Amino acid sequence: MIANTVAAAAPEINIGRLLDNARVGKVALTVIALCFCVMLMDGFDYGIISNAAPLIMKEWQITSAMFGPVFSVATFGWMIGAIFFGAISDRYGRKKTLITGAITFTTLTLFVYFSHTLVHLLAIRFLTGIGVGGAVPVAMVLTSEYSPGTSRAKFITIMFSGFVVGMTLGSYVAAAVMPDHGWRTLFLIGFFVPLPAIVLLMTSLPESARWLALNGKTQKDRQKLIQIIRGIDPGITIDNRTKLVAAAVQKQEKQSPKELFAGRLLWCTPLLWLYYLASSLSLFFIVNWSPQLLVLKGLTAAQASSMVGTSGLFGIAGTILIGLWLDKAGFRWGFFWPLLSVGFTALIGGAGGGMLLLWLSSNSFFMNGGHSILTALVPSIYPYRIRAQGSGVANAVARIGSIIGPILGGLLISTGMAMTKLFCLAAIPFIFCAVFCFVIGLQYDRHFRPVYAGESGTAK
């Protein structure tokens, strides 16, 4: 007699569904904490160069218009790094890319200590920006991946708050160090302090689980993925027959930039870029030039750094609280934050004393919170297989605003324009940000979010 047997189907674990539905455990907290450290390193770098600017300009006898490109060239390097490392990340893995970027920009921070000319400083800041562009978009993607679906915005914005924490610390350190030790000491600190964090990235940061499921080819890759899965769910059953897939449907197709414009992304992607560009234009103008503008109002460099640091505490709060707001109310209702930034930014120019600190702090709260909406929205609106590419390109486009903002700010400051008019001009892009936020957020809340959650067919 011939026995008819039917082979049992091999069990399958959907990595995407596992991550989206998992509780926040050790693996997720490790990723979020380490990516927070990367953002803190980036923010500290921004903080110290902004606060050192008044003393550098005075020592080297250069104008605001001449120094503006120092801020912008770093973001130009960031743009190149985001595009280049974004593609490398999708092909060779998130962890290696992030660590390479972090080592690059940390090492180049030390080089600023030895710079003595504007040309040298421009070259160093350009290369520093490339390293930052390699690390930050990957940190955003990893945090998005390991955060539960129901609280993703909260954890992404908590991670991104590391940037504001770093800038705030940079301001306070500058206020404490510069009067007695000069501006160069800031960049020694900026090199040595992040080294333990880089060691932790090398030893403790897990690779992207989805990336391993899609691209892992060796038994070692499989074992790494199994270790991550068991860290997320210790009770899960896995044997040699278990299939580990990144999503319900596995199609190994060559990625194409056209995917960034598929279906409704055809118009959402350009609108997202405009939103990021407008927000970056104002934010980086204000962030980079605030210490110098306060010096022009009559404060010393140390006093300006201290005031910027204090307002930065409110920026940290805004960056964290916006995530809670988005998870509860939806992305579309985030438009209140850039809308309120318009008024508080415009009020800074004519204020002094306690009112100046009040408006500066209020601006920092809503401006940083509003910008952080993008940090949560960008990696969420794209399908996973092009998420790093979408984040990298969006961040690269945003850097156009980051390049124009500081240069334009330097030129406007050099004209001697009245502060009231200067800050009113800086507030205008936030009006567009509010509109873009509502339109794109509405599409995400009503269309993309349920699609990616498996509640409907395709993103088209």
Total count of residues recorded for the chain: 460
Whether residue 138 contacts residue 101, with contact meaning beta carbons closer than 8 Å, is answered with yes
Q: Residue 382 has what pLDDT?
A: 82
Spatial CB neighbours of 81, under 8 Å, sequence gap ≥ 6: 101, 129, 130, 131, 132, 133, 134
Q: Residue 211 has what pLDDT?
A: 82
Spatial CB neighbours of 258, under 8 Å, sequence gap ≥ 6: none
Centre a 10 Å sphere on the Cβ of residue 109 and count the other Cβ atoms it contains. 27
Q: Residue 458 has what pLDDT?
A: 39
Q: For residues 294 and 297, give the distance between their C-alpha atoms in angstroms, rounded to a whole number.
A: 5
Spatial CB neighbours of 355, under 8 Å, sequence gap ≥ 6: none
392-402 burial code (b ≥16 CB/10 A, e <16): bbbbbbbbbbb
**CA-CA distances (angstroms) from residue 284 to 36, 101, 207, 449?**
20, 21, 31, 30
Whether residue 98 contacts residue 139, with contact meaning beta carbons closer than 8 Å, is answered with yes
Q: Which of 135, 158, 133 is nearest to 147 (CA)?
A: 158
Whether residue 62 contacts residue 184, with contact meaning beta carbons closer than 8 Å, is answered with no
Fold observed for domain 12-249+257-452? Growth Hormone; Chain: A; (1.20.1250)
Domain map (residue ranges) of the chain: 12-249+257-452
Q: For residues 280 and 433, give the distance between their C-alpha atoms in angstroms, rounded to a whole number.
A: 10
Q: Is the dihedral of CA 224, 230, 233, 237 positive or negative?
A: positive
Question: Tokens 């919170």 map to which residue?
Answer: 369
Taking the chain (460 residues) in consecutive chunks of 10 residues, what is each chunk's mean pLDDT?
45 76 82 93 90 91 89 83 79 88 92 92 93 86 81 79 88 91 93 92 89 79 82 75 62 62 83 90 88 86 88 87 81 88 89 87 90 81 76 77 86 87 91 91 82 50
Helix 184-192 and helix 152-181: axis angle, to 10°? 140
Q: Residue 6 has what pLDDT?
A: 40
Q: Which of 79, 375, 88 is nearest to 211 (CA)?
A: 88
Give the CA dihedral 79, 264, 16, 397, nearest 10 degrees.
10
